[in-house]
A and B are shown apart, each in its own frame.
Chain A
Amino acid sequence: GAGVSQSPRYKVAKRGQDVALRCDPISGHVSLFWYQQALGQGPEFLTYFQNEAQLDKSGLPSDRFFAERPEGSVSTLKIQRTQQEDSAVYLCASSPAGTGSREQYFGPGTRLTVT
């Protein structure tokens, strides 16, 4: 079946612009995770949803970052007033019920470049 999809795949934003990154998880997956991956680094956790509930947002780097999953499926990561340090690949992952963090399926990511 279809895997996790993300859009857009590439986004160039001017400093100060707002961006919205979309994640379509695997159908039926309860858990959804967002990660930020800087060039040459491992992914770093941003936030976690179980269905529509955002249970952990401890990894969001500032209040300019906001994520939502209103109907428990598609999720959007919004970054307001983008800064150059926001340039990174943003990865989304989903996992079935009962597996928690172990069985995560990752999307291809959105590469954000802030100029």
Chain B
Amino acid sequence: GESVGLHLPTLSVQEGDNSIINCAYSNSASDYFIWYKQESGKGPQFIIDIRSNMDKRQGQRVTVLLNKTVKHLSLQIAATQPGDSAVYFCAEIPSSGYSTLTFGKGTMLLVSP
């Protein structure tokens, strides 16, 4: 598949703006979709998940939207803060019993004060 390599897609926003990070997934049978945040030198950190039978889920300052028709997932971050600067990954879990996480391409979010 296509490789992002060292050139991650980057989203640059100002502090206080709302951010939208997008992800296209491949497996229409996936049961769960998860967003992770990864800061430099750290492992991925769970943000929010959504089950395939939902189209929207809200957390604290974050909302995940799932559009199964076009296999698209988005993460909306309200009132973005400098501490939100990180690489964001979407991941999917296929529905067949035990299964592993499959991570998508990451997006780097840069928040300027």
Contacts and interface: CB of A to CB of B under 8 A. Distances in A.
Interface of A: 4, 33, 39-45, 48, 55-56, 59, 91, 93, 100-109
A interface SS class:
loop
A102 B43 contact: no
Interface string B82-98: 00000001010100001
Contacts of B106: 40-42
A108 B43 contact: yes
B104 A48 contact: no
Interface of B: 3-8, 32, 34, 41-46, 49, 89, 91, 93, 98-106
A91 B101 CA distance: 13
B43 to A, nearest CB: 3
Given A40-B6, A40-B7, A55-B98, A102 B44 contact: no
A65 B103 CA distance: 21
